[in-house]
Structure 1
Amino acid sequence: MQRQLLRIIPALGTSDGAGVRIRRSLGQSQQARFDPFLMLDEFNSESSDDYIGGFPSHPHRGFETVTYMLEGHMLHEDHMGNQGNLRSGDVQWMTAGRGIIHSEMPQQEEGRMHGFQMWLNLPAAEKMKPAQYRDIPASDIPSVALENGGTVKVIAGQVEVDGKTVVGPIQGLSTEPRYWDVQLPAGAAFEQPIAKGLNAFLYVFEGDLTVGDPARKVENGTAGLLGDGEQLTLRAGDNGARVLVLAGKPIKEPIAQYGPFVMNTSDEIEEAINDYRAGKLAG
């Protein structure tokens, strides 16, 4: 059964951190989530005025952040003394868990800064586990060439290409995430199974494409939420397309969110705020 386009969410321009200009699709409102995905931001500018302020020290609790750099250089530092450099093509997969206080600051004063940050929810049983993160260099992310001239980078989950299974570096999480960066030349198609029962969406950031049968168009700078099914079919438009494809197992639990804290109840949000003010967020 083909996955069909259910809903389109155009990304809206806004700012976050210390004035970083972003485009937010998922997460622009409580109604613009897609369990287990909470938010997807794109930052993309050649002007340092749009990113130089970065994201100074701030807390998180109860979910995971995934940062994917296409171009540029950012430095992550946290309260545990960790440092991680994110350069072009690199990914950081951070589990905030019980709590982390970190900063993400640009390490360049000119040139393009382009990438994404996605927020992935955690089930109640994992929200208070110790914080951890993994820096994944571009060299550890498989890039698969397609017969039609396209490519797929496999960050999480796996793809089936020419009878072979290509596995990404992120595996074994309870939400069973898939995270693919798919680039297609004009008119080329991408077909891939996505297990029934997973929620899946895509975000087009170059060109445009169509989804499903009957085909429905998704424009540049737009997220498309997909219905359930077993097969995903994409076809690039006349100028080709580049798109993030994400899927994950829905958690099906209530969500209480206050800024950088995502828990299940308002009482847990109050606890997170009080712990942060008391210097006990991370235990």
Structure 2
Amino acid sequence: MPPFAGVLLDLSGVVFIGDEPIGDSVASIRDLRAHGIPLRFVTNTTSKPRRALLDKLHRLGIEAADQDIFTPATAARNLLRERGLSPHLVVHPDLLEDFDMQPEGTANAVILGDAGRSFSYQALNEAFRLIDAGAVFIALARNRSFRDSDGQLSLDAGPFVAALEFASRRDALLVGKPSVSFYAAAVTDIGTSSSETVMIGDDVESDVAGALHAGMAGILVRTGKYKEGDEGRVDPAPTATLADLRQAVDWILEQK
């Protein structure tokens, strides 16, 4: 197996849960950097702005710059600007700061993320009516669930995306993981090729299967939302299934 020149790293469920680091994750990231392996943090978290994610990494003692973090909100904002679209946002209130743009005219694009307690029949029905009338339907993510701060699984954005797709008979345009374009942007930023880049995540679908489909290696870790047997639920199987980020980093360094 060729050495890996770059690493893409999921955050929630791999590096931390809530405000606490997972195991030896902080030191593991330092080890990657010490060996000269560049990394980018790629997350489908859509309930926190990039600023808050950066602040959390710094509080944990992890070196990171704003441009090191790739989020679906950034990808969606860029898409809106490229296409000249005016958004109707169904997102968590905390995420609004990542959409630093003023809607122009009637909304012709619906942006759906993890709106948390802001999800309501009224909010979803308003989004449905816009999509049904022809608005572009953009999903920030379609993860099924995430490991919440109380240690339990909670609904992520995916079930609500699926509900609107079912009602409108329209497929959402996905801008987060496992979108190939999302992964490609991170790999391009590192400056490596897909074949020499590895993704580490706890979501066998969005993280691992998405990375493999994008031409990268994919390591599944048994932390966060991982459930026993997840590694057997995708084809091809993960490049490796390991206990946690510490083992994943050790495995990568052994290849190098």
Higher helix share: 2
Structure with the larger strand share: 1
